Amino acid sequence: MKTNGQTLKQKSPHDTEREFGGTLGAVCIPIFLPLTVLFLISASRSSDAGVFQWPPPLPTTDQLWDPLALVILLGWIALHALLYLMPLGKVSEGLVLKDGTRLKYPINGFHGLCISGVLLLLFLGLGAPLGYLFELLVPLAVCAIAVSFVFSVYLYMRSFWAPSHALALGGNTGNPLYDFFIGRELNPRIGDFDLKYFCELRPGLIGWVVVNLGMLMKEVELRGSPSLAMILVNSFQLLYVADALWNEEAVLTTMDIVHDGFGFMLVFGDLAWVPFTYSLQAAFLVVHPQTLSTLGAAVIIALNGIGYYIFRKSNSQKNQFRRDPTHPSVARLETIATATGKRLLVSGWWGLVRHPNYLGDLLMALAWSLPCGFSHLLPYFYVIYFTVLLIHREDRDERHCRAKYGLAWDTYCRRVPYRIFPYLY
Ligand code: NDP
């Protein structure tokens, strides 16, 4: 029996590597992060907006639930599911999967953004009180959190019907709490409808700019016109979301799609965390108006522009190189060979630091907080959290790349010693 047990153990298909603090992280994060969302929304609307208040400002039970919030949230997800299914835009193939096949994905997220934008303008034209989103923010976040939990349970359960080659590497440890959190199945689909790809850039990301617009309309209700700070925050973040959707095809080669299973971590991140914490600056500005000088605004716009330029150019350079290394825009860049047959860029943006795209993203994150002034720490939550997220993500990516490319990766690290910030980190 013992021998059999050992043999079975050796042959076990379960993965052993654990991330995000393993089981402890998988238990604590799904409790801690939803509470953080509710805390941040409540703090942003309290008069002192303190992040170190004790007891922390959390919504009272009668502020948590509003059936209208559930109707709006489910209606919004259903609208985007319909837009996803519309035969608009092209269809692209993802990377080759373990079984040698490639999945097809509709590239129509930008159409979804434009159509939902037109619908919103129509609603506004008909007098719909979009500013009411400010009052609904807590119940909307509660519903998004609840939907994330229910959806993640569904994803976990259905993953047991998936063939073993369809499971994500690292998502099949056999520990139910960890696997539920990290995601077992790599590309769960209902027919051709890809659940992870749908959630990644659509309801939550577009929802984020709608929440921002709701905050702007609330400001108009309260003060007659939107402030310069609110306009900057709305415009910068709309540019970021529009850019992500315009370049939607690039998501097909990201870690989230290629490597990570679809579990609570991604579901909650996509549906609850992004729309309700990334919109914190706009929510803060409703209660804490800021005056911004023209010079201050110009400096912030320049910072956002520089960040965007680095972010877009570096992402496009790598995507172009991965799609067609002989393309004239990348053909002359210096590269090193790896044992896998793929090459690594060591000049151009990817010769500056090992993650120039993260550098640009972080400069933009700072530009989104600066319009909120220096009186409070809360609007800087995003840039602080995002720095931690990207440092952790960079570390995960390095481990994957070292495993993939071995010695060639070490050579790249020697040639390009800094990870994100030149001469600093
Ligand atoms: P990246 O676009 O940084 O891709 C990393 C991959 O690029 C590596 O795994 C490797 O894959 C390839 N690569 C690394 N170095 C080189 C090189 N020198 N030459 C060629 N290829 C290289 O991945 P992310 O998904 O982390 O980021 C994509 C964008 O999304 C970033 O701009 C990031 O800032 C942003 N982002 C935003 C978030 C948000 O919440 N706002 C969250 C996460 C990311 P391979 O070799 O297999 O091609």
CB atoms within 10 A of CB 15: 17
Give alpha helix (H) positions in 224-333.
Answer: 228-246, 255-258, 264-268, 274-277, 280-287, 294-323, 328-331
Angle at 182 between CA 177 and CA 188, to 5 degrees: 110
- The predicted structure's pLDDT at residue 83: 97
Length of the chain: 425
Q: What is the DSSP letter of 168?
A: P
Which of ligand 1's atoms lies nearest the C-alpha of 256?
25
Please report which confidence band the pLDDT of residue 16 belongs to, taking 50, 70 and 90 as the band edges. Answer: low
Q: Whose CA is nearest to atom 13 of ligand 1?
A: 344
Mean pLDDT of 242-270: 94
How many whole angstroms from 376 Cα to the centroid of ligand 1? 32
Which of ligand 1's atoms lies nearest the C-alpha of 322?
48
How far apart are the C-alpha atoms of 100 and 241, rounded to whole Å? 32
Mean pLDDT of 179-199: 97
Q: Write the pLDDT tens digit of every residue in 355-391.
A: 999 999 999 999 999 999 999 999 999 999 999 999 9
Answer yes or no: are the C-beta atoms of 235 and 301 closer than 8 Å.
Answer: no
Q: Write the pLDDT tens digit of every residue in 27-77.
A: 999 999 999 999 999 999 888 888 887 888 888 888 899 999 999 999 999
**255: Cβ below 6 Å to ligand 1?**
yes
Q: Which of 92, 83, 91, 130 is nearest to 110 (CA)?
A: 83
Q: 346, 397, 405, 415: which to mutate for ligand 1, most atoms within 8 A of CB?
A: 397
The dihedral built from the CA positions of residue 275, 276, 279 and 282, taken in this order, carries a sign that is positive
Which of ligand 1's atoms lies nearest the C-alpha of 344?
19
Q: What is the DSSP letter of 167?
A: B
How many whole angstroms from 245 Cα to the centroid of ligand 1? 16
- The predicted structure's pLDDT at residue 63: 87
CB atoms within 10 A of CB 241: 23
Mean pLDDT of 264-289: 97
CB atoms within 10 A of CB 224: 7
Q: Which residues contact 221 (CB under 8 A, 6 or more apart)?
A: 129, 131
Q: Which of 311, 319, 171 is nearest to 253 (CA)?
A: 319
Q: Whose CA is nearest to atom 45 of ligand 1?
A: 401
**317: Cβ below 6 Å to ligand 1?**
no
**318: Cβ below 6 Å to ligand 1?**
yes
**281: Cβ below 6 Å to ligand 1?**
no
**391: Cβ below 6 Å to ligand 1?**
no
Helix (H) or strand (E) holding 146: helix 133-158
Q: Tell whether omega for the bond before 87 is within 30 degrees of 0, i.e. cis.
A: no
How far are the Cα atoms of 58, 117, 146, 207, 374 from residue 153, in angstroms, in the given order?
Answer: 26, 32, 11, 23, 42
- The predicted structure's pLDDT at residue 310: 97
Q: Write the pLDDT tens digit of every residue in 134-186.
A: 999 999 999 999 999 999 999 999 999 999 999 998 888 999 999 999 999 99
How far apart are the C-alpha atoms of 26 and 22, rounded to whole Å? 6
Residue type, 261: G
**397: Cβ below 6 Å to ligand 1?**
yes
**200: Cβ below 6 Å to ligand 1?**
no
Please report which confidence band the pLDDT of residue 248 belongs to, taking 50, 70 and 90 as the band edges. Answer: very high
Q: Whose CA is nearest to atom 10 of ligand 1?
A: 401
**270: Cβ below 6 Å to ligand 1?**
no
How many whole angstroms from 419 Cα to the centroid of ligand 1? 12
Q: Whose CA is nearest to atom 22 of ligand 1?
A: 344
Query: Token pair of 262, please?
Result: 């679809």
**308: Cβ below 6 Å to ligand 1?**
no
Please report which confidence band the pLDDT of residue 3 belongs to, taking 50, 70 and 90 as the band edges. Answer: very low
| pTM of the predicted protein model | 0.92
How many whole angstroms from 402 Cα to the centroid of ligand 1? 14
Please report which confidence band the pLDDT of residue 225 belongs to, taking 50, 70 and 90 as the band edges. Answer: very high
How many whole angstroms from 28 Cα to the centroid of ligand 1? 27
Which of ligand 1's atoms lies nearest the C-alpha of 393?
26
**358: Cβ below 6 Å to ligand 1?**
yes
Please state the domain extents for the chain.
Answer: 21-96+104-289, 292-425
Q: Whose CA is nearest to atom 31 of ligand 1?
A: 357
Helix (H) or strand (E) holding 343: strand 343-345
How far apart are the C-alpha atoms of 137 and 411, rounded to whole Å? 49
